[in-house]
Amino acid sequence: MVYLVHDLIYQTANHTPDVDALSYQGQKKSYQELASEIEQLAAGLLSAGLGRGERLAVYLEKRLETVSTLFAANAAGGVFVPVNPLLKPEQVGYIMADCNVRILVTSTERLKLLAEVLPSCHDLHTVIIIDNKTGVTEIAGVNILSWAALHSVRTTKKPNRVIDGDMAAILYTSGSTGKPKGVVLSHRNIVTGAKSVAQYLGNRSDDRILSVLPLSFDYGLSQLTTAFHVGATNVLMNYLLPRDIVRTVEKENISGLAAVPPLWIQLAQLNWEKAQSLRYITNSGGAMPRATLDLLTKALPRTRIFLMYGLTEAFRSTYLPPEEIERRPDSIGQAIPNAEILVLREDGSHCVPGEPGELVHRGALVSMGYWNDTDKTAACFKPIIAHQNGLTIPELAVWSGDTVRMDEEGFLYFIGRRDEMIKTSGYRVSPTEIEEIVYATEKVGETVALGVPHPVLGQAILVIATPREGTSLNAEELMTACKQRLPAYMLPSYIDIRKDSLPRSPNGKIDRKKLFQEMQNQFMENNT
């Protein structure tokens, strides 16, 4: 019986040790090899001082070392924090400081990028360099180890004991205001999610799953865990162009592929004639446009298509069975195995079929809350009334903030978000985080970041700004400043510089709704 995340690999290594667990750029690692490396790395991490529940961050692209380090952190009794490789140093530094990272695993080049932010990460005591290059800049108070040194450790120290209710990972996702939030996942959350997804996707040991999404994204991490649960092979890929994905599907005989809507929109335009090995594809992170769905159905006639809905706070909530797509292509489906999805009014009572309400998720996938943020945790993780059944201990569920409706047959339909989050290229982006970067130029008086509908991105990011008194400001220099401090997916598609103050609502705040209406019309006119 598997209870802990790393046991997903150990169990398969015991049954089918010679099967490939990972493949990356021609390199292969069997389940036995991966299990042995995880055990060795765990010993090295224990020797380096990783304590029970302490955080280890991995700031790397997808590669063999990335995967083995994540699972080794759990095997040692620690917690892994996968950091999106697209993030800029300031954002990486914030994440590491926020969750008190003790050990960082990265490359020589990436460590150089972090030189200015690491001194603010006061809990960091060790950096592990995976490429063993020389000339690494020293960091005061930080021990720098090579990958080879980690593999040479011999210790009798036993891994820290953990149970399935303990922390396993912290995944950072943007909040509606301010900096990213760290969603804390237990071993139980991750293992249950792997079993549930593998069940409805029908994953099996002969699957070859292509991993193109970031491992810092719960949807991307799921490609690993579902594969390991059934003993399948995960093919890691850091693609440059969408057509590279199609070629890899053909070359590697891929049977499973997951992507977000903006990527599916691009992939649907390509020629799949020689890449017909896909048994299934999945979509999450936003609604797939009907035109894209039709193109994929035509291009991949033997491929099952799963449309899904999820949120990091509960990993995955619903899926639409492929046989239902033709009847209800706009539905986000029904609850995944071992989860219950409720549609509730503000008072916690149940909505009737067709009545809009908040999507509330209950079950073993409900995460442990937000790291070091009791207020936001209390706002999202709240007790439900309907399922107490006389118990005196309240049950916490995730209140998503998303408005949905349920039809008479129990299928759910997404209506909209109640907050101001921007969902672009499959990412949830905080407007405030972008605004803080714009304000940091010290040339801006007022600014607002908005998301407006876009046929490819889902939403395009627009920035409205006024010049600070006594300064000049133009869109080009503001975009340059954004490029220096924001990853590509957070860059604005359009910047509007205004001379006058931004409109106010009756309570004195900037009127975002009015600006949204103005900018939506203006953006559409400029792009037609």
**Residue 301 CB-density burial (10 A; 0-12 exposed, 13-18 middle, 19+ buried):** exposed
* Calpha distance 391→384 (Å, rounded): 12
Asked whether residue 181 is assigned to any structural domain, the reply reads: no
The one-letter amino acid at 434: I
Q: CA 258 → CA 52, 267, 287, 288, 334, distances in Å?
A: 33, 12, 14, 12, 19
Q: Is residue 172 one of the residues assigned to a domain?
A: no
Average of per-residue pLDDT across 244-257 = 98
Mean pLDDT (whole number) for 12-18: 97
Of 388, 417, 446, which residue constitutes the final position of a domain? Answer: 417
Residue range 151-189, pLDDT digits in tens: 888 777 788 899 999 999 999 986 545 688 999 999 999
Question: Residue 304's pLDDT is what?
Answer: 98
343 and 456, same domain (yes or no):
no
* Residue whose token pair is 């053909």: 250
pLDDT digits (tens, 9 = 90+) for 287-341: 888 888 999 999 999 999 999 999 999 999 999 999 999 999 889 999 999 999 9
**Domain that residue 440 falls in:** 422-526
426: left (phi over 0), alpha (psi -120 to 50) or beta: left
Residue in 353, 403, 436 with CA at minimum distance from that of residue 179: 436
Mean pLDDT of the chain: 91
Specify the 3-state DSSP secondary structure of 36. helix
Residue 15: Cβ-neighbour burial (10 angstroms; 0-12, 13-18, 19+): exposed
| Comparison of pLDDT for 525 and 457, the residue scoring more | 457
pLDDT in tens, 490-524: 999 999 999 888 887 655 577 888 888 888 877 76
Kindly report the number of other CB atoms within 10 A of residue 30's CB atom.
18
For 115-124, give one letter per residue: b (16+ CB within 10 A) or e. eebbeebeeb
How do residues 58-71 score in pLDDT, each as one tens digit? Answer: 999 999 999 999 99
- Checking if the pLDDT of 527 tops 70, the result is no
**Is the same domain home to 447 and 413?**
no
Residue with structure tokens 């997903």? 8
Residue written as tokens 């000049």? 472
SS3 246: helix
Does 136 fall in a domain? Answer: yes
Q: Can you give the pLDDT at residue 159? A: 86
Higher pLDDT, 369 or 1: 369
How many Cβ atoms from other residues are within 10 Å of residue 153's Cβ? 17
> CA-to-CA distance for 100 and 119, rounded, in angstroms?
13
Per-residue model confidence (pLDDT) at position 62: 97
Please give the full DSSP string across 5-30, using - where no structure is assigned. TTHHHHHHHHH-TTSEEEEETTEEEE
Nearest alpha carbon to residue 451 among 515, 395, 389: 515
In a domain, 176, yes or no: no
Asked whether residue 214 falls in the same domain as residue 332, the answer is yes
173 beta partners: 181
3-state DSSP assignment of residue 193: helix
Residue 329 maps to which CATH number? 3.40.50.12780
Q: How many CB atoms lie within 10 A of CB 372?
A: 14
Asked if 133 and 232 sit in the same domain, the reply is no
CATH number for 462: 3.30.300.30
pLDDT in tens, 182-202: 999 999 999 999 999 999 999
pTM of the model: 0.88
Q: Structurally, how many domains does the chain consist of?
A: 3
